[in-house]
Amino acid sequence: MCWRAAPKYSRAARPALCVAPEHVTNGLCDVFSKLVGCLNLVGTESHMENVSAPHCRVAVNYVEDINQFGQKQLDSKQPREDYKELLELVQLFIANRNALLSPKLLILSNIKTCKTQAKSQSKSAKTAIVMLNMGGPQKVDQVGDYLHRIMTDRDMIQLPVQSRLGPWIAKRRTEEVQKKYMEIGGGSPIYKWTDLQGTLLCKALDEKLPKSAPHKHYIGFRYVHPFTEEALEEMERDGVERAVIFSQYPQYSCATSGSSFNTIADYYKNRSIPFNIQFSVIDRWPTHPLLAQVFAERIKEKLANFAEHIRNSVLIMFTAHSLPLKAVSRGDTYPHEVAATVAATMTALNVPNPHRLVWQSKVGPLPWLEPYTDDAIKAYPKKGVKNMILVPIAFVNEHIETLHELDIEYCQDVAKKAGVQQIERAAAPNDHPTFIAAMADVVAKHMEHGPRLGQQFLTRCPHCTSGRCYQSKEFFKKLCRAEHESVTHKVQDASSV
């Protein structure tokens, strides 16, 4: 048996491993996750693509990496120990899952590689899925600009003389933050995950909703390229008929989701709204059952790493970005929505373990929502709680605050010093098939049943004094032609807007 390097595949033409849809299960995906772990390729796209009935193309992206791994083994003449395990896993997968081997299948065990001539991905988009998120610098030299944009965004952070103090703080922190990005591999993976999620989501939607197909995703980041404005430009250029603005923050906060929505309002301030596009908004989805399910599955993956006799007493510590108390008192719904996701996840998880919700990443001198994650990690061993799992519950991708703050600062440094026996960190939803199913269900239900714009979105915080917020809500009523929709349930004619 020998390895042969696979040819370089374009995104549109990759080797495929095909299984009948009824065999596409989470267990199957677990096998692929283990493969990735075995290859030390953390961050590799471990996704499951639905291509066309009656077959599903699964986790095609691995093939290239697996072949590279095989080639390295040949080159080094010292096959790694886990080579055997890798092969066993692939064989297990093929044997147990009754994979229907297509003529285009690449089978590792007998080293046949082949290309799939997948359908070209270029398609005319009919429905745009605009995925809003903050984004992160993909390269270290983008960090300065990224921080500058955050520090001058008054929706995100309020500073005195912000136009001068913001850039000053951004500049002062750049080097330190660059160092952190270097430590997690040189950049943020948010783009990579969002793009993959978008691709998989649109494929799922093409199957679920053939009437509105083809669906195409557009990434709209707040602080790095591709910017929200660029997403809107591209979408208009593509001539879509419908646009679903889909916040990638499951829980709404004025500082995050709100800022992204305000950016869209800003963009159209000096432009005419393209009323040939039917716009609608998904502003929050904190308790979607499949979202809770994917968090539960991510936790289960880590619970399995604990010895059986302590597994049921491991503390499940949910952690989310904290919020200034000023925002909490103003009425920002974020803490409540995060707590709701936690409760839904614990219900889906259905284990006897204790859990807590704590808050991370506070910045500045003002009071924020507590208890803080690092303080809780420090405090619990003194109370006899020495085994825990950290679960990032308010962000759907790996990013600097999972890969650096949680994995390096807390799990390595803080936990070690505090006397924690074992600490694990649950992966973000990333490309877990249950998460793709969650996104697809959120969007499909929204497109089928509406509303185009939720009243929860339109209702401002009781103590909001932001004129910017007021104008933004008014803009979205116009954009979605929903001025009276939710109140009177009368459909407004476009000409009356």
Looking at the Cβ atoms of 211 and 309, the one nearer to a second copy is: 309
Give me the sheet containing 215-221, strands edge to edge.
215-221, 127-133, 242-247, 278-282
CA 133, CA 328: separation in Å to the nearest integer? 21
- Smallest gap, in angstroms, from Cβ of residue 357 to a second copy? 5
CB 430 within 8 A of CB 44: no
Q: How many Cβ atoms are within 10 Å of 217's Cβ, its own excluded?
A: 25
Q: Which residue in 215, 217, 288, 446 is the catalytic one?
A: 288
Looking at the Cβ atoms of 52 and 329, the one nearer to a second copy is: 329
CA 445, CA 264: separation in Å to the nearest integer? 23
Which position among 10, 25, 329, 412 is part of the footprint of a second copy (CB under 8 A)? 329
Please report whether residue 381 would count as binding a second copy according to CB under 8 A: no
Q: How many Cβ atoms are within 10 Å of 239's Cβ, its own excluded?
A: 13
Q: How many Cβ atoms are within 10 Å of 319's Cβ, its own excluded?
A: 30
CB 215 within 8 A of CB 127: yes
Please report whether residue 40 would count as binding a second copy according to CB under 8 A: no
Tokens of 383: 């109370």
Which position among 213, 340, 348, 408 is part of the footprint of a second copy (CB under 8 A)? 340
Q: How many Cβ atoms are within 10 Å of 92's Cβ, its own excluded?
A: 12
- Smallest gap, in angstroms, from Cβ of residue 320 to a second copy? 11
- Smallest gap, in angstroms, from Cβ of residue 356 to a second copy? 7
Residues 149-178, mask of contacts with a second copy (x by CB under 8 A): ------------------------------
Write phi, then psi, for 255 (nearest 5 degrees). -75, -25
441 is catalytic: yes
Please report whether residue 486 would count as binding a second copy according to CB under 8 A: yes
Looking at the Cβ atoms of 12 and 366, the one nearer to a second copy is: 366
332 is catalytic: no
Please report whether residue 356 would count as binding a second copy according to CB under 8 A: yes
With tokens 């075995």, the residue in question is 38
Helix (H) or strand (E) holding 300: helix 289-303
Residues 303-322, mask of contacts with a second copy (x by CB under 8 A): ------xx-xx-x-------
Residue ranges in 436-475 that form contacts with a second copy under rule CB under 8 A: 451, 454-456, 458-464
Please report whether residue 348 would count as binding a second copy according to CB under 8 A: no
Query: 122-150 b/e with 16+ CB inside 10 Å = b?
Result: eeebbbbbbbbbbbbbbebebbbebbbbb
Burial label for 352, CB within 10 Å (0-12, 13-18, 19+), is: exposed
Q: Which residue in 30, 195, 407, 441 is the catalytic one?
A: 441
Residues 394-413, mask of contacts with a second copy (x by CB under 8 A): --------------------
Looking at the Cβ atoms of 225 and 356, the one nearer to a second copy is: 356
Which residues contact a second copy (rule: CB under 8 A)?
286-287, 309-310, 312-313, 315, 325, 328-331, 333, 335-337, 339-340, 342-344, 347, 352-358, 369-371, 375-376, 379-380, 383, 385, 451, 454-456, 458-464, 486-489
Write out the catalytic residue numbers: 288, 441
